[in-house]
Structure 1
Amino acid sequence: MKVLTDWKLHLLALLVVVITELIGKHSFGIIIILPMIFAMILGGVISLPKFHILTEKNMKHASTIMTVSLMLLTARLGLDIGPNLPHIFEAKGALIFQEVGHFIGTILFGLPIAVALGMGREAIGATYSVARESNIAIIADKYGLDSPEGRGVMAMYICGTLFGAIWMSILATLIGNLNIFHPYALAMGAGVGSGSMMAAATGSITTLYPDMSEAIVAYAASANLMSSILGIYIYIFFSLPFAVKMYDVFTHLFNKKNS
């Protein structure tokens, strides 16, 4: 109930929404900046401790509200899937196969770099997944959040929350303008298991292909839900054990090179 009566937080959120909607969407070359990006930047400025605008209590309330908001967002996106099921069925195994890209990008690419830079077992938590809420729960259950793995996944969760949507918006615009991937492929790539990242990337893609916006949202929502639901089992039974094994391999290789 205290969360619902935190009027300071609600008024600031409303003010941010009004300001960013007035700013609107802007293009800088091939990069499209959506109001959501301006909102994240403005919210980051407001939450800086040195300005004393938000207290730690306000921020904890905001975190609780964000979790509920993402649930509503997921439900809203789910409503876009039904009318576009024929398009989704045409994708066949593509929606499942795109899950492979998650561990290729995080484990095979990110983990050796993390180890090379001197990270310890934090690298496992940081690179075994896209580090969203369900991934934090997996690490918390297996290692505990006070462990190196827990610190790693929490660090990536914070980075993803602060910069993920901005990065996904810019990346989707850049790749979309290359015209080397079908819009549906871009949409599936946007569904990484994060509602905010997916929304930012989908907004950029639908701006490039407005006539296909409904199908793009449906593909992105389907991929996002699949990443959130099916991805949990992939992370538990494959990605995490694989990351642990690869960590041991890369640690041995880099230690041997440095000796």
Structure 2
Amino acid sequence: MSEQLKNIWKDWRLHGIVFAIVIITELIGTHSFTVGPGVVLLLPMLYAIIIGISLYFTPLVKEKQSKNAEPLIVLGVTLLIAKIGVIIGPSLPQIIAAGPALLLQEFGNLFTIFIALPVAVLLGLKRESIGMTHSVAREPNVGLIMDKFGFNSPEGRGVMAIYIFGTVFGAVFMGLMSGFLATLTPLHPLSFAMASGIGSGSMMAAASGSLVAAFPHLENDIIAFAGASNLLSLSTGLYMSIFIGLPLTEKLYNMMTKRRDKKKNTGMGA
């Protein structure tokens, strides 16, 4: 066992803080409130993220604890994936029946480019918007941008900004929105389960957790579809970004900025 692993397991302050957070959030429990016809679910995972972020800015959590906590997140997600694997097996017939929808879901992820990129350009962002909007900016996409443009490029800064934002707030956003939209819209809960698999274990866990809380009778199906969807996103998402997402984003960016610059020059001439 490496020295780093020994230090992690001996960091009793970190384990004590995590245990206390778990106890507090479980005691708080699950709460919900209605917003129009939809329901917003507040799960223990949401409280844990908020409490953890708050404690980071207190003397209780030192730099040592924040560094040691990073590998433990991977361990937690690994256990989640193992549980999902056990559940997927018995649900294979339903997953196979939904095969075309699962395979085509990546094209749905590309649709967000047409929403996010115009907003980024309107806000005045330049080539940073390409890195920010071509994907959900998880690890494979960060690697793609770094390989093509470099770490210090505008695109590199853009993708890292979304990666950090998604790491901190992604699970909170997914957890709140999935339960709310599933109760607000007439779409089947399993469609939201498939949509929660975007290539991030923590975001998928938050989104599927909200769906399970809203539709407990579909728990196994929701977890199975979310896990299969997440696996497909991890497998195919990078190739979709390489061959379609990033070239499409660059093309749209050039079209929008050319039009914006043309209007600006016309205005200055007038």
State the match for 2:101 in structure 1: 94
Aligned-residue offset at 1:71 = 3.3
Unpaired runs of 5+ residues, structure 2, are 266-270
Rate the CA distance shift 1:80–1:257 in 2: closer, same or farther, 3 A: farther
Equivalent residue letter for 1:42: I
Equivalent in 66, 70, 74 of residue 81 of structure 2: 74
Deviations along 1:54-95, one digit per CA (max 9) or x if unpaired, are 233432322232234323322332222111000001112100
Equivalent residue letter for 1:31: V
Whether 2:130 is the aligned partner of 1:129: answer no
Determine which structure has more spread, i.e. the larger CA radius of gyration: 2
Equivalent residue letter for 1:252: K
State the match for 2:201 in structure 1: 195
For 2:245 and 2:64, how far apart are their aligned partners in 1?
35
What is the TM-score with the length of structure 2 in the denominator? 0.89
For 2:17 and 2:79, how far apart are their aligned partners in 1?
20
Deviations along 1:101-126, one digit per CA (max 9) or x if unpaired, are 21111x11101111111112111111
Unpaired runs of 5+ residues, structure 1, are none
Equivalent residue letter for 2:231: L
For 1:179 and 1:116, how far apart are their aligned partners in 2?
29
Q: Which has the higher mean CA deviation after the structures are superposed, 123-132 or 169-178?
A: 169-178
Whether 2:42 is the aligned partner of 1:33: answer yes
Whether 2:246 is the aligned partner of 1:226: answer no
Count matched residues. 256
Q: Which has the higher mean CA deviation after the structures are superposed, 141-150 or 18-27?
A: 141-150
The percentage of counterpart residues that share the same residue type is 45
Equivalent residue letter for 2:205: A
State the match for 2:268 in structure 1: none
What is the TM-score with the length of structure 1 in the denominator? 0.92
Whether 2:189 is the aligned partner of 1:183: answer yes
Aligned counterparts, 1:1-259, within 5 A: 1=5, 2-29=7-34, 30-48=39-57, 51-105=58-112, 107-259=113-265
Equivalent residue letter for 2:230: N
Secondary structure of the corresponding residue to residue 142 of structure 1: helix
CA RMSD, Structure 1 to Structure 2 (Å):
1.6
Deviations along 1:145-172, one digit per CA (max 9) or x if unpaired, are 2222121111111111222112112211
Rate the CA distance shift 1:4–1:258 in 2: closer, same or farther, 3 A: farther
Q: Deviating runs (4+, > 4 A) in structure 1?
A: none
Secondary structure of the corresponding residue to residue 9 of structure 2: coil
Aligned-residue offset at 1:179 = 4.2
Deviations along 1:159-213, one digit per CA (max 9) or x if unpaired, are 1122211211221122111241012111111111111111111111112221111
Secondary structure of the corresponding residue to residue 54 of structure 1: coil
For 1:235 and 1:75, how far apart are their aligned partners in 2?
27
For 1:58 and 1:147, how far apart are their aligned partners in 2?
31
Q: Which has the higher mean CA deviation after the structures are superposed, 111-120 or 62-71?
A: 62-71
